[in-house]
Amino acid sequence: MDSIWLPIYLTFFVAAVVQTVVMTLQAYENRRFARSRLRKPAVPSVEFPRVALFVPCKGVDLGLEANLRPLLEQDYADYEVIFIIESADDPACAVIERLIDEYTRSARSVAAKIVIAGLAENCGQKVHNLQVATRGVSEDVDVFAFVDSDARPGRRWLATLVARLDGEVSAATTGYR
């Protein structure tokens, strides 16, 4: 009777060892890939396309100003930040106006504006805000980028995001993990 169980135990043992080795190799490859992506951020070798960066805002969340500030400090050549709110009464409006005023007076002047979308009637407010804002974009904009006001991206976020676009193949890219 013991002779039957020994091959079964050995089979499970070998399977467990093989699975452990395969998982270890997969973890190593994943780590190596992630490190290579962080070491060499994607930067387009050609001229940067013009970008309209849409930021829907509502209310004053904790850290709103700290979240919006990096959007006006992107390491990107040609972009405009479009903050979208439902109404001028939104508490976020004062924070946004102060930041726009600060950055338009600084040496690092970036194009930024506020779009007041009005109250939504047939869809969610955020969708309505984005629809209204995208309708008013100038013809020279090549790329639409969207970010929520509760995100705090790094200075190279926009350049890295846009660099992933391939003009012939890609229609969209995301920074979402």
pLDDT in the model for residue 114: 94
pLDDT in the model for residue 61: 85
Mean pLDDT, the chain cut into blocks of 10 residues (177 residues total): 81 95 93 75 67 94 92 92 95 94 80 92 92 91 92 91 74 65
Torsion sign across C-alpha atoms 114, 117, 119, 120? negative
pLDDT in the model for residue 39: 66
pLDDT in the model for residue 151: 92
Using CA atoms, how far residue 155 sits from 93, 136, 160, 161, in Å, is: 23, 26, 10, 11
| 145, two tokens | 């980028």
